[in-house]
Amino acid sequence: MPAVRESRLAGGIREAGQPPAAAGGGRGIDLMAFDEERTRGASGGDVRLRGFGDLVAFGEALEWVARHGSPLDVEEVDVAEAVGRVLAAPLHATADLPPFDRVSDDGYAVCSGETIGAGTYNPLLLELREAPGLSPGGAILVAAGMPLPRGADAVMPFGEAQANGRALEVLGSVAEGVGIEQRGVQLRSGATLAPVGRALRPQDLAVLASLGVERVSVVRRPGVKLVIAAAKGDARCPPPDANGPMLRALVERDGGIALPAGTEGDHRAAIREAMAAQGGDLLLAVGRTGTGPDDEASLALAGAGQLDVHGIAVRPGGSAGMGRAGELPVILLPGDPLACLCAYELFAGAMIRRMGGRDPRLPHAALEAEVSRKIVSTIGFTEVCQVRLVDGRVEPTGSPGSGGIASALRADGFVVVPAPLEGYAPGARVLVHLHS
């Protein structure tokens, strides 16, 4: 609808001798460069001052993520450093566990057959011996975890036997196998321990270490380059970078490595530079993704790479985009912190988890609960609604357009409302993804 090809706008009426207003300074926008580029015809995907045309459906954007988010290559890491890492190959037991018949309870190793019939009124007298081997009439003092002495087949508990010098008075019988953990009873050599894609847990490390495994093959962690546009505040008092700390924490949560990148004055140049630079498996360019005159992120991507998706039917975060610079996938995230958070959770997080070999679905714990106050959504948009739980029931923490990132601070979690719905009425049951 809007045709602005020939516009000169505010920037065009700058008087001679007057300095150009700082981009993003909040005091007007220099549109000279903008217009010149537009009239030169370099407007492929340029939505500035036009608005998005047809929005890309949520599912289609997710398909882009699935298509371009393949697990990275494999690396070997020390078991001691492997917690949270994702297995690149199925894990098999390299030995029996335990590796030998082992004492599992403190006591006296005996030959169980000799204790038959022993009791308080019929004590059995055994002779305390040294390990390693047990001969008839003998017993050996043992502690849990030790290899079982040869010839023994049970461990008599301290409560059932009294030592006196080298003599052991046995006051009960013990069945074969008591107090013993047989070789391989926990794990047989060759048994499958865990499948590809399993993120290793603390106890898994203990099993691997018990088996004598020192290194394990895992999917390399995705390196995520972050280029963050300066916030649009008052030029006299530029607001801090609100998205950087949040995104770095989210990237780490999803198993990525946030690669250092500062807030840049010239966002377009910074994106181009990051696209061209070596290193990193994914580029997140944050801010300047909308339809305003200074929204240059998509142009930077379209100019030096390829813009596949821009403008998605999700809210907040619909100005997100996706594309590639050579082999490097690039995701554009909106600069508004709540929109940035939502677009990250819906798309960038899934991309990082895919690249790291993880389940691409939302990693949040989730619970089903009943809506107590109406959740409003626009038909046609997949909407992310921040909610709190009050007495186990769900209510929004912000309303569309007035919640902002503070609504996510107030929230216990969020509800994703599918595009065909106009929200949820009180009484509806919804799935709440819990912020952790």
- In 3D space, the residue among 220, 191, 183 whose CA is nearest the CA of residue 100 turns out to be 183
Question: Does 21 help bind its own copies (rule: CB under 8 A)?
Answer: yes
For the bound state, the minimum distance from the C-beta of residue 132 to its own copies, rounded and expressed in Å, comes to: 5
Question: Does 129 help bind its own copies (rule: CB under 8 A)?
Answer: yes
Site for its own copies in 349-368 (CB under 8 A): 365
Count of Cβ atoms closer than 10 Å to residue 194 Cβ? 16
Applying CB under 8 A, among 157, 172, 197, 223 the residue interacting with its own copies is 157
Task: For residue 231, count CB atoms less than 10 angstroms from its CB and return exposed for 0-12, middle for 13-18, buried for 19 or more.
Answer: middle
Applying CB under 8 A, among 22, 246, 257, 376 the residue interacting with its own copies is 246
Site for its own copies in 174-203 (CB under 8 A): 181, 185-187, 193-194, 201-203
Applying CB under 8 A, among 94, 189, 291, 378 the residue interacting with its own copies is 291
For the bound state, the minimum distance from the C-beta of residue 167 to its own copies, rounded and expressed in Å, comes to: 9
Applying CB under 8 A, among 137, 190, 233, 426 the residue interacting with its own copies is 233
Asked if the peptide bond before residue 98 counts as cis, ω within 30 degrees of 0, the response is yes
Site for its own copies in 42-71 (CB under 8 A): 49-51
CB contact at 8 A, 385 and 424: no
For the bound state, the minimum distance from the C-beta of residue 361 to its own copies, rounded and expressed in Å, comes to: 15
Question: Does 14 help bind its own copies (rule: CB under 8 A)?
Answer: yes
Residues 6 or more apart in contact with residue 122 via CB below 8 angstroms: none
Task: For residue 17, count CB atoms less than 10 angstroms from its CB and return exposed for 0-12, middle for 13-18, buried for 19 or more.
Answer: exposed
For the bound state, the minimum distance from the C-beta of residue 233 to its own copies, rounded and expressed in Å, comes to: 7
Tokens of 45: 């995907």
- Contact mark string toward its own copies, 294..323, x via CB under 8 A: xx----------------------------
Nearer to its own copies, 305 or 363 (CB): 363
C-alpha dihedral, 319 to 325 to 328 to 329, nearest 10°: 20
Question: Does 143 help bind its own copies (rule: CB under 8 A)?
Answer: yes
Applying CB under 8 A, among 22, 57, 147, 257 the residue interacting with its own copies is 147
Asked if the peptide bond before residue 418 counts as cis, ω within 30 degrees of 0, the response is no
122/124 Cα distance (integer angstroms): 7
31/105 Cα distance (integer angstroms): 81
Place of tokens 């380059």: 225
Nearer to its own copies, 50 or 324 (CB): 50
Q: Where are the alpha helices (DSSP H) in 364-420?
A: 404-409
388/412 Cα distance (integer angstroms): 5
Applying CB under 8 A, among 36, 214, 359, 370 the residue interacting with its own copies is 214
Question: Does 408 help bind its own copies (rule: CB under 8 A)?
Answer: yes
Total binding residues toward its own copies, as defined by CB under 8 A = 115
DSSP-derived pairing of the beta strands 124-128 and 138-142: parallel
DSSP labels, 126-178: EEE--SSB--TTEEEEE-TTSBPPBT--EEE-GGGEEEETTEEEE-S---TTT
Question: Does 226 help bind its own copies (rule: CB under 8 A)?
Answer: no
Nearer to its own copies, 253 or 324 (CB): 253
Applying CB under 8 A, among 196, 362, 409, 421 the residue interacting with its own copies is 409
Site for its own copies in 269-288 (CB under 8 A): none
Q: What is the DSSP letter of 412?
A: S
Nearer to its own copies, 113 or 239 (CB): 239
Nearer to its own copies, 147 or 197 (CB): 147
Stretch that binds its own copies, among 1-9, 62-70, 266-274, 371-379 (CB under 8 A): 1-9
Nearer to its own copies, 243 or 275 (CB): 243
CB contact at 8 A, 285 and 274: yes
287/304 Cα distance (integer angstroms): 18
- Contact mark string toward its own copies, 83..112, x via CB under 8 A: xx------------xxxx---x-x------
Question: Does 245 help bind its own copies (rule: CB under 8 A)?
Answer: yes
